[in-house]
Structure 1
Amino acid sequence: MTVPTTEDRWQRDRGQRPVRIGNCSGSIGDQGYQMLRQMELGDVDFVTGDYLAELNLAQNVDAYLNSKHPGYEPTAWDGLQKSMQTINAKRIKVIINGGALNPLGLAKKCRDLILQEGYDLQVAAVTGDDVLDMIRKDLGQNGALVHLDSSNDSIKPAKHLHAYLDRETHPLVSAHAYLGSRSIVKALEIGASIVICGRVADAAPVVGAARYWYKWSDTSYDELAGALIAGHLIECSAYVTGANLSGFEKYSPELLFDLPFGIAEVSQDGTCVITKHENTAGFVTENTVKSQLLYEIQGNYYLNSDVKAYLDQIIVEEVEPNRVKVHGARGAPPPPTTKVAVAYKGGYQAQLLFNLGGYAVEAKQAFYEKQIRRGLKLKGLADKFDELQFQVVGNAASDPKTLLSSTTYMRVFMTAPTQLPIFGLLGVFVDNAMQHVSGAHGSTDLRSAMPLAYLGYFPAQLEQSRLHEKVTMLGCDDEQNQELDVDHGQNFEDSEPRVSRSVSPDQQDCTIDDFGPCAEVSLGDVAFGRSGDKGSNVSLGIFVSSAATYAWLRLYLSEDRMKQLMGNDWSSDYHLERVELPNLYAVHFVIYGFLGRGVSSTSRLDSLGKGFADWIRARRCMVPTKFLQP
């Protein structure tokens, strides 16, 4: 009698049960042991990893070109080294974008380790995301790039949005298109056990795994949409198992230490169950799943190179402890374009921090701004900055019981095309060091005020039909490598304008008074939330736990109310989109322009927008008392 091998069982099970996909990374900081952990703590068919943020690639370009960086992410290689023996023994397939600038280089490292140890594994690299030459050619022909949000006439362009057009001062550094799952599927079909990608979309490894497992076609839109949502839910490390969770204070801190990463069990119809390995910390609940689902989405649909996923009818329900089912996603053809992360040399930035506090603190803040601006004018530098902002961080207590509680930070944020204005401002500060007002004091870290080169970011569009994706299956040496081109198909569909309503039509005749007596409390006393950056914009989802409370929330949280809650940080330069997601008891907003040109150059202290939700939750609101629990 022949005993079936692990490989035999894997092939036998393929497509006959839900595919089990574990995530091992959501950023470059996630260490290699997380990959091995997903493989050893329980059964998985695939391990996927998303290592890249919008500017990870660009930050290493110069070092890579000068042979001072390997081009791939070191934490990805660390995970593969630690896990290779287990990958071979358990026949687990690995799909990651940790190849970054050099996916072929990381694939070769894997190939060499496999040959050295005598493992029976094949490695493939996915390339074609680097479109810098194409973007440069387009600039020469068209004069400017097409911004990702250009189809919305209500959005005002950020200041210096097209700074890259000054090629001498702001030369392009990199341009990487967000690829979908096609090349991943091709690599798996020709026998790859490990697929090393560059800039594929965050959820593409999960979509590729499910697409291969079930042999879905290009037009299996509902199924692909479900896999896209599954990928989105587990792509961010431990965000679906307890991290970055509003309401965390209700749990014991020990429960949130050493969190496991998420697992998605994707079924034939695209529905999924989000879970984690047993006997680990953290938890998977409706709240953790809803929080991640609302994170970084684009209103009522989510765009991807493979599919457009509609979110209006998604249902999230806990079916067992630490097992949450997600279903109801609808799919449609993907857009004809994909996002391209274009990076260019932005110039220099710095921040000067010093302490002000005690009596008359607002007058002190006004004094220092006037003193510094006067000094810059005398030096002829007042108009040499791209950005110069005087910010106050924190509020001094009205009756402070400690020195610290009476103290605020004065933050002077600046960007400039050269270092000269920044050094000039630092000189003004030092020149006036002994001409300070009462109550100003030290602990100033002048190192942070030194000019630091930064990268500008421009999210562009590129037609998918112009991409030249390629899969390279590595042989025993480079001469035996097999290269395959990947077709992109023709099933595209332009995206309709986004839905945005201040209040739904079915609530036009309803008023806040209909919900009974109210009390002034923080919005966070009744609502949860999650926020994050999307280029220049902040994505914000606010949700509650019951249908009754949601009836109030969707009426209360109108566009005008959100602008009011944003207080002095709201500007007419911004554009607000609002959609309702009734099955999630959620209202979702996109605030266009809040982060300027994006994370790398924004003057916001919270450059990633992650604190935005809890700021709004901290605002005082009139909430019906019947929804407030002890």
Structure 2
Amino acid sequence: MAAVEYGTRWTEQRGKRPVRIANCSGYKADPGYHMRYQAELGDVDFITGDYLAEVNIAENAQAHAAGQHPGWEQTCWDGIEQTIHILAQKRIKVIVNGGAHNPKGLAEKVQQLITEKGLDLKIAYVLGDNLFEEMKDIRTKGLPPHLDSDNSEVTYANHTLDLLEKNDKPIVSANAYLGAREIVKGLEEGADIIIAGRVADASPVIGAAWYWHSWNSTSYDSLAGALIAGHLIECSGYVTGSNFAGFYEYPLDSLYDITFGIAEVEKDGTCVITKHGAKKGFVTEDTVKCQFLYELQGNVYLNSDVKAILDDVQVQQEGKDRVRVWGIKGAPPPPTTKLAIFYQAGYQSEIVVNATGYGTPQKYDLYERMMRFGLARLGILDKFEVLEFQRIGVPERNPRSQLRSTTSLRIFAESSSPAANLGLASLLSEFAMQHYSGFHSTLDHRTALPKPYLSYYPAIYPQSSLNTSMNILYPTGKTVRICTTPPPRFEPLGKRESYETRNPVDLDSFGKTVRARLGDVVLARSGDKGGNANIGFFIPTRLPSSYAPGSPLYAEAWDWLRSFLTMSKLREMFAESWEGGYHVERVEFAGIYAVHFVVYEVLGRGVSGSSRLDAFAKGMGDWLRDVEVDVPVKFLEGRRKGMGSSNVSAASRL
């Protein structure tokens, strides 16, 4: 589309066609050129960017308060700086949460850039998410309820309430997850670039679609559809081939240097997920299903403006790199929003040592006994809040190389005082020449020294208590503050749904079985929500015609998956990793042939306070896909037919 046509979109096209919203970031690490790509490689109406993982703001909070950090994300600024001329030429609007701790500061910097270049763009920024002043003295004012406080089945991880119960855990940041209402107000005031802090990941997409289609606050089905559209494109390239469980069935060179997703959101909230034709990556039913299942908390997805009811979700390939998503229903939002509180929790250190081959289990037994003996002699064994000896890997039987025979012991420690961690590190020297046969480690033990760390307390906060605003910035330096109000209607959260399959099918009816990896017939995606992990499993759709959606065999595979993958089966598959304090919930998404689980407290306190090697549960789905189970032979044969060299056996060769 020519530049002059771009200039007419807001007066002639708004609301008359689907709005085309491109995403340029899912985390602060995404380089600025992704914003430029989305602007220059094709036609879009909005570019949105999510630069904030849960710990981002906290990491820079103290440095910002001390004047040693600008408070906003550098990659967000880089993107705007690279793209500013294209935005002005094509009249593309930008909505980002890269303002982090200081959206005003980034807005002023962008305004300075616009003034220097003589461009005609209006800047605005969102305030109201930063609740540090309200939360910094919780021992006097009280600690807000935990995010899972409404779930009586959940037992909190150890040390969850340390920030309240101990005096040496000061809060460094507290940010509420805002919705899209401020964004819509800014767009109504003519803003071209909106800089926000901690708005929820999908809120920029909701705001763009809400404004484009002139929805109102109670257009719940439409808002819910936009929420899920935002969820699908918010994570960089996760919907265009990255972090994709079925990657091994595609040329490996198509899986990097990819462009990110675009959502075409229609007036009723349904959407098509796509991408620019230029550069690499792909959008399929399976990549969309994987991203849909990522970081869910069951069948209801929450935002400050709407609840999305997910039970009837459907996806369908419409063409190359075009997948339609529909079936989302909406309901009024909850009266509370998520509040991320981070605090100085103490000190962490990590030691990794290796063992090779014969007698490996006994070697790690010896090393752990020796280290615990040393800590006890120093009088600090009981000074750790967390002290874990984690065994990583299993040596290959009849190994073909030393590397295949080598595994690691990871010693992870947390304490309130650095003295305990320093004592642990001192044992590396004391016992340097007392060890098991074949002992070796990396030459650099910097991670053994104590480092201060932040821990996370996920809370809820009343939306009616927020003091939010949209602020319009003018070249003269004048700012017009427009106060915003909470949603007009709330609906309390009900008990989370959790159930085994309805009308299960007798597993014997599927015929002969063979021991095979679950991943030979099932794809999965897993992720984190604080201390909880979610895992979604589904029957893939990149299949030969005999095993394609709508075929009898495909329907049979779904009947098998939903009947086989019960809560007790998941616990069985966890095996040695299951602990008694965990709580599991299960729902189904029949329209996409998926079974979804949430495992509560499996990640401890979550985020930077987790002792897990995989603290964000990114690998949990692929671990469980590698577990051997009884798989009906006909499903394995159906997966292999017609796949040639790209069939499921390719995974075993990687």
Normalised by the length of structure 2, the TM-score is: 0.94
- Answer whether contact 1:22 1:38 (CA < 8 A) is retained: yes
2:70 is the alignment partner of 1:75:
no
* Alignment RMSD: 1.2
Identity %: 48
- Answer whether contact 1:139 1:145 (CA < 8 A) is retained: no
Letter in 2 for 1:599: V
**Structure 1 residue 324: deviation in Å?**
0.2
Rounded Cα–Cα distance in structure 2 between residues aligned with 1:410 and 1:530: 27
Letter in 1 for 2:624: I
Correspondences of 1:80-95 after superposition (within 5 Å): 80-95=80-95
Rounded Cα–Cα distance in structure 2 between residues aligned with 1:505 and 1:198: 43
Correspondences of 1:241-390 after superposition (within 5 Å): 241-390=240-389
Aligned to 2:590: 582
User: What is the DSSP-based 3-state SS (H/G/I as helix, E as strand, rest coil) of the residue aligned with 1:547?
Assistant: helix
**Structure 1 residue 137: deviation in Å?**
5.5
Match of 1:493 among 488, 491, 494: 491
**Structure 1 residue 166: deviation in Å?**
4.6
- Answer whether contact 1:353 1:444 (CA < 8 A) is retained: no
Aligned to 1:175: 174
With 20-29 and 165-174 compared, the bigger mean Cα shift is at 165-174
Aligned to 2:436: 437
Letter in 2 for 1:90: K
Instruction: Indicate how the Cα distance of structure 1 residues 4 and 608 shifts in structure 2: closer, same or farther if over 3 A, else same.
Output: closer
Rounded Cα–Cα distance in structure 2 between residues aligned with 1:117 and 1:441: 58
User: What is the DSSP-based 3-state SS (H/G/I as helix, E as strand, rest coil) of the residue aligned with 1:279?
Assistant: coil
2:224 is the alignment partner of 1:225:
yes
Deviation digits for residues 209-251 of structure 1, max 9, x if unmatched?
A: 0000011111000000000000000000000000000010111
Instruction: Indicate how the Cα distance of structure 1 residues 442 and 138 shifts in structure 2: closer, same or farther if over 3 A, else same.
Output: closer
**Structure 1 residue 39: deviation in Å?**
0.7
Rounded Cα–Cα distance in structure 1 between residues aligned with 2:498 and 2:487: 32
Rounded Cα–Cα distance in structure 2 between residues aligned with 1:74 and 1:4: 32
Rounded Cα–Cα distance in structure 2 between residues aligned with 1:231 and 1:347: 36
Letter in 2 for 1:388: L
Aligned to 1:621: 629
User: What is the DSSP-based 3-state SS (H/G/I as helix, E as strand, rest coil) of the residue aligned with 2:8?
Assistant: helix
With 280-289 and 437-446 compared, the bigger mean Cα shift is at 437-446
2:513 is the alignment partner of 1:505:
no
Aligned to 1:515: 510
Rounded Cα–Cα distance in structure 1 between residues aligned with 2:168 and 2:53: 25
Letter in 2 for 1:558: T
Letter in 1 for 2:199: V
User: What is the DSSP-based 3-state SS (H/G/I as helix, E as strand, rest coil) of the residue aligned with 1:319?
Assistant: strand
Match of 1:604 among 599, 612, 626: 612
- Answer whether contact 1:339 1:460 (CA < 8 A) is retained: yes
User: What is the DSSP-based 3-state SS (H/G/I as helix, E as strand, rest coil) of the residue aligned with 2:397?
Assistant: coil
User: What is the DSSP-based 3-state SS (H/G/I as helix, E as strand, rest coil) of the residue aligned with 1:594?
Assistant: coil
**Structure 1 residue 279: deviation in Å?**
3.2
2:237 is the alignment partner of 1:238:
yes
Correspondences of 1:518-537 after superposition (within 5 Å): 518-537=513-532
**Structure 1 residue 257: deviation in Å?**
2.0
Rounded Cα–Cα distance in structure 2 between residues aligned with 1:141 and 1:450: 36
Rounded Cα–Cα distance in structure 1 between residues aligned with 2:238 and 2:114: 33
Rounded Cα–Cα distance in structure 2 between residues aligned with 1:9 and 1:613: 43
Rounded Cα–Cα distance in structure 2 between residues aligned with 1:578 and 1:352: 36
Deviation digits for residues 537-594 of structure 1, max 9, x if unmatched?
A: 0011000033221110001100000000011001110000000110010000000001
**Structure 1 residue 423: deviation in Å?**
0.9
**Structure 1 residue 168: deviation in Å?**
3.4
User: What is the DSSP-based 3-state SS (H/G/I as helix, E as strand, rest coil) of the residue aligned with 2:86?
Assistant: helix
- Answer whether contact 1:540 1:590 (CA < 8 A) is retained: yes
Rounded Cα–Cα distance in structure 2 between residues aligned with 1:4 and 1:453: 54
Aligned to 2:539: 544
Match of 2:601 among 593, 607, 612: 593
User: What is the DSSP-based 3-state SS (H/G/I as helix, E as strand, rest coil) of the residue aligned with 1:566?
Assistant: helix
- Answer whether contact 1:33 1:82 (CA < 8 A) is retained: yes
Letter in 2 for 1:265: E
- Answer whether contact 1:32 1:77 (CA < 8 A) is retained: yes
- Answer whether contact 1:414 1:422 (CA < 8 A) is retained: yes
Deviation digits for residues 452-492 of structure 1, max 9, x if unmatched?
A: 110010001100000111111001232x2111100113310
Rounded Cα–Cα distance in structure 2 between residues aligned with 1:601 and 1:57: 15
Correspondences of 1:66-145 after superposition (within 5 Å): 66-136=66-136, 139-142=139-142, 144-145=143-144
Deviation digits for residues 479-533 of structure 1, max 9, x if unmatched?
A: x2111100113310011111111x22322xx321011001111111000000011
**Structure 1 residue 432: deviation in Å?**
1.2
2:446 is the alignment partner of 1:447:
yes
Rounded Cα–Cα distance in structure 2 between residues aligned with 1:403 and 1:4: 64
Aligned to 2:146: 147
User: What is the DSSP-based 3-state SS (H/G/I as helix, E as strand, rest coil) of the residue aligned with 1:298?
Assistant: coil
Deviation digits for residues 116-170 of structure 1, max 9, x if unmatched?
A: 111111000001000112224654233x331000111111111000111156311
With 540-549 and 342-351 compared, the bigger mean Cα shift is at 540-549
Rounded Cα–Cα distance in structure 2 between residues aligned with 1:280 and 1:549: 35
Normalised by the length of structure 1, the TM-score is: 0.97
User: What is the DSSP-based 3-state SS (H/G/I as helix, E as strand, rest coil) of the residue aligned with 2:608?
Assistant: coil
Aligned to 2:569: 561
Deviation digits for residues 332-354 of structure 1, max 9, x if unmatched?
A: 00000000000000100011111
2:409 is the alignment partner of 1:410:
yes
**Structure 1 residue 5: deviation in Å?**
6.4
**Structure 1 residue 256: deviation in Å?**
1.1
**Structure 1 residue 438: deviation in Å?**
1.4
- Answer whether contact 1:338 1:462 (CA < 8 A) is retained: yes
2:575 is the alignment partner of 1:570:
no
With 355-364 and 120-129 compared, the bigger mean Cα shift is at 355-364
What is the aligned length? 623
- Answer whether contact 1:354 1:444 (CA < 8 A) is retained: no
**Structure 1 residue 401: deviation in Å?**
2.5
Instruction: Indicate how the Cα distance of structure 1 residues 495 and 166 shifts in structure 2: closer, same or farther if over 3 A, else same.
Output: closer
- Answer whether contact 1:263 1:275 (CA < 8 A) is retained: yes
Rounded Cα–Cα distance in structure 1 between residues aligned with 2:37 and 2:442: 42
Rounded Cα–Cα distance in structure 2 between residues aligned with 1:551 and 1:489: 41
Rounded Cα–Cα distance in structure 2 between residues aligned with 1:315 and 1:518: 30
Deviation digits for residues 284-321 of structure 1, max 9, x if unmatched?
A: 00000000000001111101101000110110000111
With 328-337 and 483-492 compared, the bigger mean Cα shift is at 483-492
Rounded Cα–Cα distance in structure 1 between residues aligned with 2:606 and 2:442: 30
Rounded Cα–Cα distance in structure 1 between residues aligned with 2:139 and 2:212: 41
Rounded Cα–Cα distance in structure 1 between residues aligned with 2:150 and 2:284: 37
Rounded Cα–Cα distance in structure 2 between residues aligned with 1:172 and 1:536: 19
Rounded Cα–Cα distance in structure 2 between residues aligned with 1:381 and 1:476: 60
Rounded Cα–Cα distance in structure 2 between residues aligned with 1:248 and 1:401: 27
Rounded Cα–Cα distance in structure 1 between residues aligned with 2:141 and 2:36: 48
**Structure 1 residue 27: deviation in Å?**
0.4
Rounded Cα–Cα distance in structure 1 between residues aligned with 2:132 and 2:9: 44
**Structure 1 residue 444: deviation in Å?**
4.5
Aligned to 1:29: 29
- Answer whether contact 1:71 1:99 (CA < 8 A) is retained: yes
**Structure 1 residue 82: deviation in Å?**
0.7
Moved over 6 A (4+): none
Rounded Cα–Cα distance in structure 1 between residues aligned with 2:137 and 2:70: 27
Letter in 1 for 2:503: D
Letter in 2 for 1:560: S
Deviation digits for residues 158-206 of structure 1, max 9, x if unmatched?
A: 1000111156311000000000000000000001000000000000000
Rounded Cα–Cα distance in structure 2 between residues aligned with 1:148 and 1:62: 25
Rounded Cα–Cα distance in structure 2 between residues aligned with 1:438 and 1:137: 53
Aligned to 2:189: 190
Aligned to 1:13: 13
